[in-house]
A = this chain, B = another copy of it.
Amino acid sequence: MVKKVLKFGGTSVGSIERIQHVANIIKKEHESGSKIIAVVSAMSGRTNELIKLSQEVSKDFDKRELDVLLSSGEQVTCALLSGALKDLNLKAKSWLNWQIPILTEGDHNNSRIINVNVDRINNFLNSGVAVIPGFQGISKNGEITTLGRGGSDATAVALAKLFNADSCEIYTDVDGVYSTDPKKIPVAKKIDKISYDEMLELSSLGAKVMQSSAVQTAMMYNIPLEVRSTFTDRKGSKIFDQQNIDYSKSVTGVAYSKDDAKITLIGVQDKPGVAADVFEPLNKSQINVDMVIQNVSSDEKTTDITFTIKRNDLMKTLQILQENGKIKYKSITQNDKVSKVSIVGAGMVSTPGVTYKMFRGLAEEKINILAISTSEIKLSVIIDENSTLNAVKKLHTIFDLD
């Protein structure tokens, strides 16, 4: 018998009607002979509602109690979905984090699943559907922990691994992974098959279909994923190992994000260790530096260092740089009106000229490139924020994705 983990996100269980619809999807899968573990998120909006309540209580709400608070959201969905399944005459049962248990390690609000007791649930799966809350677990001290936002994907993948499931299907409000944002670029196309790496680049770059760390875990354990819509019967996108994919195109998708900011340190002393002196304090303050570019300055004894960070880290970063006694520079410039546009494709590495094609395309649109970074399957540029959609459209067209 095939064993499947089916994960239903917040919008998929956002109302009683939708929960009943999800129950019907599960029933169909169950009747076709699969053993089903259903992982559910909180009903859409509920997690934000609870966070808002906590913030009204305190600007610095206790992290332990936040986990107790938030975990109630998935508990509600679990109970309602199990009730809906029983109403369809299916054997079903909700299993809470501590009843299984789902063991985690790490900090409150940011833990990782390390183990799950599978025996009792495996027994139950012989006849019934197990409904399990995503996003949460308990620590070895018996404290409720959560995995951070989007953590229900991580639960689904971890359970797929620990239960040795045949597949892990992520039901959501889009019907798959697209070549770019279909809401903004109507010619965006659904991708039928995509590799973990590509998916990873796409999801971390702003195509918000699945949580990155969940994709990473799936890649690590080679768990086949499928992203599909709860609301249509259309086929979804399959995500698996690169070897299983036949690349006819060099570029699989175009992603963009609009929450970046760029900082340039002008006239930094050009001597060994200077970059470390710049970035070490940022790292200590948990500021994530994305791209770094270092150029020789006109003055040969100094250099300019440009780097990008998340936009809402900008003020903190500037403050840290200004208070940093170790580094000497002439001036700082900043720009928080920038965006990052990336082309992603596992086929890129074997296709010459992709880089050139991208730069020429942007030049044709008179879009100035402020910074560039590359990896084996990705090419990102920082550009003026106002040119974002223009750039995405142009790249989507020239790489034959329309």
Contact = CB atoms under 8 A, between A and B. Distances in A.
Given A68-B75, A68-B78, A79-B68, A84 B57 contact: yes
Interface stretch (A30-38, A59-67, A346-354, A392-400): A59-67
Contact of A86 (B62, B75, B80, B98): B62
Nearest to A58: B87
Contacts of A61: 83, 87
Contacts of A296: none
Interface stretch (A48-56, A196-204, A237-245, A337-345): A48-56
A142 to B, nearest CB: 6
Contacts of A123: none
A94 interface: yes
A76 interface: yes
B58 A69 contact: no
A82 interface: yes
Determine how many copies of this chain the complex contains: 2
Interface residues of A, number: 36
Chain A contact residues, majority secondary structure: helix
Contacts of A86: 58, 62, 65
Interface string A156-193: 00000000000000000000000000000000000000
Interface string A1-24: 000000000000000100110000
Contacts of A75: 68-69, 71-72, 75
A58 B83 contact: yes
14 contacts: A54-B79, A57-B84, A60-B87, A62-B83, A62-B86, A64-B93, A65-B80, A65-B83, A68-B78, A68-B96, A72-B72, A75-B75, A96-B144, A98-B98
